[in-house]
A and B are shown apart, each in its own frame.
Chain A
C-alpha cells in the first residue's frame, strides 16, 4: 500500500515543455489500431449502396438476386430496415436526417444511402452491392449555387445578422470605398482514415467501436435514434485518423447497429473514399460581398460583410462566413449577415474553422485592397482599426494580442523592407510577392466531466471521454494532469474516448483541450483534497470526479478569442499560371501553450490547410447529374509534399484573466492563410484573385502585367 500523497518531491513544468506523443511509439510502429482494425469473431461486413439520382423516389430495390449471391447475409433498405427515431434534439442540436437511414423512399441528393449489403467478407459485400439494381422515379434537381441566386434566405436563428449604424450614409461619407465579391468552392474534410464502425450486442449492451470526435456524443445520438437506455450504449474510439469536423454520427454507425441487430452478430461498415464525398459533410461553397468605407487615413466608417452558402433540402446548416468581422474590426456602421439557399445536395457541416476560414479570405483580402487604395501598409491599416471592445457586443476582450503577433511576425518575416508596389520583383520566370492577413478564432468551452484515480502503485489514472483526432490531446491532458498533481508525466495514464467515462465536450470548435483540461484540473483538485486527509490508498485506488458545468456558468461574459498574424511569400509564373508558396509564417496569441511540440504541428497543419484552400481544393459538382465529377484524391487535390514549403509557426505571450488560460489552437492556423497568399499573389502580379482556388487557368486568364484594379 502507498501512502496517500501525490509524491515526495513536487514536480511541475510539464506544461510548456516539448513532449513527444504518448501514443507515438504505437503510431510509428503500426501498432495503433483504428476503428476498422480491431478483430471480432463472426464479424460480418457491410457495404453501402448510394443513390445515383439527385432527386426523386426509390421505385424498387431488387434485392432478391443479390441475396442469392455467395456470402450475402442480408440487404437492408427502406422496405425492411428497423425503424429509428430521427426526431430528437442531441448534444449539438437536431440531427441531419441523413442519419435516419432507410426510413422512407425519398431521395434528396445524389449519394443518399439506399441500401446496405452485408456479407461474410468485404469482397462479397462489395460485389453484391455493385450488382444491386435500384430503380428510381427521377425528378428534376437543382444544384446550381451562385451569388444572389433565387431562394436565398436569411435564417431565423439568433446570430444570423448583426447591424449597427447607417451603412449607406457612412459609405457615402467615406473617402475610400472597397466593394468586392469573393467566392470559395466546396471543400471536403478528407480525413486519411475513412469513417468506420463496428457494432455488436454484448450481454444486453450495444457496443460500438468507432472513429469519432466524441464518444459520449455518438453514444447519446445512437441511444436516441434506437430508443435505447443511454446506459446500455457504449462507444469507444481509441485512435482517430483525422476528423476535422466530419466525424460525428454518420450513416455507417447507424447501419452497423441496424445490421448487428438484425443479424445477431458483429457488423463493420467502412465508407469508401468516394462515399465520403456525399456522406460525411463538407464545407459549403460561399459567395461573399464585402464593402468597406474608410477615411483617407484608413479608419473604417463602414463595414458590410454579406455571406451566402448552401444547405440541403432536408437540414439547415449555415457556414457563418460573415461572423468573423464581429470580433475583428469596428466601424461606425457595421453589418454582417449569413444567408443560405437549400439545394438538392448533401448537408454541409463544420469543417476546420467553419465560417472563419472562408470569411477571413474575403474580409482580409478586402482589408488588403483598402490598404492599397489608402496607400497604407496593410499592418498599419489593421493597427489603425484595432478595437477597444467587441465591435458588435461591446464586451471587453479577455485578451487581444493581435498587434503583438503582427509586430513579431513582421520582424521575423522581414516585412519592413517590403516595397508595397505590386508586380515589380522578378526572378527568372517568377514574379515574387509577399502578403499578410490577420487571424482569429473564438475561444469557447463546454461542460465536461473527468475522473482521476490515485492508484495503489503510486500512479494516477485519468478517465475522460475526450478524443485525440491527431491533435495531441492525450499527451496534453497527461501534462495538465501531471502539473496539477505535481508529479512526473510518466506517472499519469490518460484513458480517453470511451462513452462509459461520462459526458465531455467533443474534439471540435477548438474547445477540446480547454474543456477537458478544465475538467481534469478540477478532478485533480478534488482528489488532492481527499488525499490531504491522509491514510492509505486501497487496492482499488481513490477516485475523484469533477463536472465543470457550474464553474463554466460562472465565467464572466467577454470577447474571448485566439489571434494571429499570417505572412506569405509566393512566386507566380504568369506564363504557366503556376503559383509556388515559398514561405509561410504564422505568429499566434493563443493563450497558454500546453505542449510546444504538438502545438506547433497543429498551427502548421492549419496553415497547410490554408495553403491548400488558396491554391488547390475544389469539389466540382456536375449540374447535369447533381453529383461530383472529382470524388477521389486524383480529382480532389489537397496539398501534397511538393506543394508545401518550410512553414514556420510560433506564438507570443498571451496572458489572460481566464481560470485555465487555455485557448484553442486547432483551427486558427487556417484562418487568414488563404488571404495572405492571395494578397501576396496580388503583390507579385498586380492582379486581385477573389475566387478560390487560385488555379493556373485563373492566373493565365488574368494575365500578369501590373494593372491597377484588375481582378480574376
Chain B
C-alpha cells in the first residue's frame, strides 16, 4: 500500500473550526489561501524572510509559510480576518488606516498581526535587543520608536511605509493602554 500523502485535519481559525483534507506538503499559509479562501494572509517570499504571512498561533506571532498545516492542528490560529471585533476595527487596524501605515497594502496584514503581538509582548515585559534594562523586575521599557522598530523588523515593507507604521503602532499601543487604565 502506498503511504498516505494527505490527511483530514481540523484547523481552529478565528474561533471557527474548519475541517479539510490537506496534502502533507501544504503549509499553513497555503491552506489558508488556497483551501479556506482566507487570502488576507500574504505570501511574499515563502521562506520566512519577509513577515507578510504573519499570523497569531496561540496568541504568539508566527510566519505561516514555515508551518505545515498538519502541524497547526489543535492550535488557536488568528489571521487578519479575525482581529477586528465585528465591524469595529482593532485599534492597530484603525491606526494604520488613519495614519497611512501602508501603500500597496501587501505587507499590511502581516504588519498588523505582528504589531498586535508586539504590543502584547511589550506589555508582558518581554525585552528586545534595544532594551537597556533586561532584568525581569525592570518591567516593560518605554515603548519608544526605537523599541517598535526593533520588534517590528521581521516585517519588511518595500514601499517604505515604516515611518507611518511605527507611528501607527505607537498610537494603537497608547490607545490600548488608556483603555486598560480606564477599565482598571
Asked if A31 lies at the interface with its beta carbon under 8 angstroms from chain B, I say yes
Which listed residue (B47, B105, B155) contacts A241, Cβ 8 A? B105
Complex CA distance for A639 and B93, rounded to whole angstroms: 23
Write out the residue numbers on chain A whose beta carbons fall within 8 Å of the beta carbon of B98: 20
Which single member of B33, B52, B89, B155 contacts A641 (CB below 8 Å)?
A: B155
A554 at the interface (CB under 8 A from B): no
Q: Which of B47, B109, B159 neighbours the largest number of chain A CB atoms within 10 Å of its CB? A: B159
A-B contacts besides A36-B43, A123-B26, A604-B163, 18 pairs, CB < 8 Å: A20-B97, A20-B100, A27-B105, A29-B80, A30-B38, A123-B25, A127-B25, A191-B158, A192-B44, A192-B106, A273-B44, A598-B103, A601-B103, A604-B160, A638-B156, A644-B149, A644-B160, A646-B145
Give the tally of cross-chain contacts (CB within 8 A).
170
Residues of A within 8 A of B30 (CB): 122-123
How many whole Å from A599's CB to the nearest CB in chain B?
A: 10
The B-contacting residues of A in range 1-39, CB under 8 angstroms, are 20-21, 23-34, 36-37, 39
Asked if B13 CB lies within 8 Å of chain A CBs, one says no
Complex Cα distance, B161 from A239, in Å, reads 17
Answer yes or no: B37 CB below 8 A from chain A CBs: yes
Determine the residue in chain B with the shortest Cβ distance to A612: B160
Of chain B, the residue at the smallest CB distance from A276 is B45
Whose C-beta in chain B lies nearest to the C-beta of A646? Answer: B163
Residues A469 and B104 in contact, CB atoms below 8 Å apart: yes
CB contact list, B50-108 vs A, under 8 A = 50, 52, 79-81, 84, 89, 93-94, 96-98, 100, 102-108
25 residue pairs of the A-B complex, CB under 8 angstroms, read A20-B98, A21-B97, A24-B102, A28-B112, A30-B41, A30-B80, A30-B109, A31-B81, A191-B106, A192-B106, A192-B158, A193-B42, A193-B44, A273-B50, A600-B100, A602-B103, A605-B159, A608-B160, A633-B49, A633-B156, A634-B49, A641-B150, A644-B149, A644-B160, A647-B163
Contact B100 A597 (CB under 8 A): yes
The 10 closest A-B pairs by CB, nearest first: A30-B40, A470-B104, A608-B160, A241-B106, A605-B160, A27-B105, A470-B103, A30-B80, A37-B39, A633-B49
Using Cβ atoms and an 8 Å threshold, which residues of chain B touch A31?
40, 81
Chain B positions within 8 Å of A33 at CB level: 39
Distance in Å from the Cβ of B106 to the closest Cβ of chain A?
Answer: 3
| A472 contacts partner chain B, Cβ-Cβ < 8 Å | yes
A503 at the interface (CB under 8 A from B): no
- Could you tell me the distance between the alpha carbons of A190 and B160 in the complex, rounded to whole angstroms? 12
A645 to B: closest C-beta gap in Å = 8
Separation in Å of the B1 CB from the closest CB of chain A?
16
Interface presence of A194 (CB below 8 A): yes
A601:B156 contact, CB within 8 angstroms: no
Q: Would you give the shortest CB distance from B24 to chain A, in whole angstroms?
A: 9
Question: What is the bound-complex CA distance between A597 and B100, given in angstroms?
Answer: 7
Cβ-defined contact, B47 with A24, below 8 A: no
CA of A127 to CA of B50, assembled, Å: 23
B11 lies within 8 A of chain A by Cβ: no
Q: Say yes or no: B89 contacts A606, CB within 8 Å.
A: no
| A30 interface neighbour in B39, B45, B49, B158, Cβ under 8 Å | B39
Tell me, yes or no, whether A609 is within 8 Å of chain B by CB. yes
The yes or no answer to B153 lying at the interface (CB within 8 A) is yes
B104 with A28: CB separation less than 8 A: no
The docked-state distance in angstroms from the alpha carbon of A188 to that of B156 is 15
Give the residue of B33, B45, B109 whose beta carbon is less than 8 angstroms from that of A633: B45
Check if A472 sits within 8 Å of B153, measured CB to CB.
Answer: no
Quick check: is A244 within 8 A (CB to CB) of the other chain? yes
Q: How far is the CB of A460 from chain B (nearest CB, A)?
A: 24
Docked-complex contact A272 and B46, CB < 8 angstroms: yes
Given contact pairs A642-B150, A644-B163, A194 touches B43 in the complex (Cβ within 8 A): yes
| Beta-carbon contact of A472 and B49 below 8 Å | no
Interface-central residue, A24, A472, A642, A644, by most chain B CB under 10 Å: A642
